[in-house]
Structure 1
């Protein structure tokens, strides 16, 4: 794994959340960010963008976050890429399920925009 986090893919179906996250991750965090609106779009784009870390919305229509996670893990180039979930589902059992799956962590939604980059860096350092 790279020692420095530079490229982040964020998979999120809500346009407003996508826009805010991209803005703060690029302008506050200094990251190169690729935002996509679905799990399928993530799979179609991931090889070309080659992210260092992936942020997944847990609840999306069609292929949800956990299903997208499973499909990404099948790709040999990304089976060890750190993946974190962003979700409003913050019951302990939900968080535990994401962590058992292999996620590096969970970020609560709605997130505090000015703290998002810091939260992502903390999860990257734990990975």
Structure 2
């Protein structure tokens, strides 16, 4: 049996973490861990690097872009693909986020029934 892929979900909104985690586990079959802040996410990613990270853009303190920059600086996480989760979907925002070098973006609100397939498509994972 193949190892289940692991995803670290970093979002300051507990409700979003709960819905996304349930959807990714139940619908997608992923192993999901969560973090409520950029700092917590950096620690979890460093100690147990996931196969991918889904990262909220707007968080208090350490926001998504700064968290991504720090993930890129850590040897343990520099090669982990990061997908930004954001309500900022204007063309200028998409251009700015793409320029960071993230693997892709998911729009908030997301559909819990399709988020697993969207992640798989962005990352080129088999579904």
Normalising by structure 1, what TM-score?
A: 0.92
Unaligned runs of 5+ in 2: none
- CA RMSD in angstroms comes to 1.4
Which region of structure 1 is more displaced relative to structure 2, 81-90 or 117-126?
A: 117-126
What does residue 33 of structure 1 align with?
Answer: 32
Unaligned runs of 5+ in 1: none
Shift of 1:47: 2.3
Normalising by structure 2, what TM-score?
A: 0.92
Task: Give the Cα–Cα distance (whole angstroms) in 2 for the partners of residues 48 and 39 of structure 1.
Answer: 14
Task: Give the Cα–Cα distance (whole angstroms) in 2 for the partners of residues 80 and 43 of structure 1.
Answer: 14
The secondary structure found in structure 1 opposite 2:114 is helix
Task: Give the Cα–Cα distance (whole angstroms) in 2 for the partners of residues 118 and 92 of structure 1.
Answer: 23
What does residue 17 of structure 1 align with?
Answer: 16
Task: Kindly indicate which of the two structures has a greater share of residues assigned to helix.
Answer: 1
What does residue 92 of structure 2 align with?
Answer: 93
The total of aligned residue pairs comes to 123
Following TM superposition, the consecutive aligned residue runs of length 4 or more in structure 1 with deviations greater than 6 angstroms are none
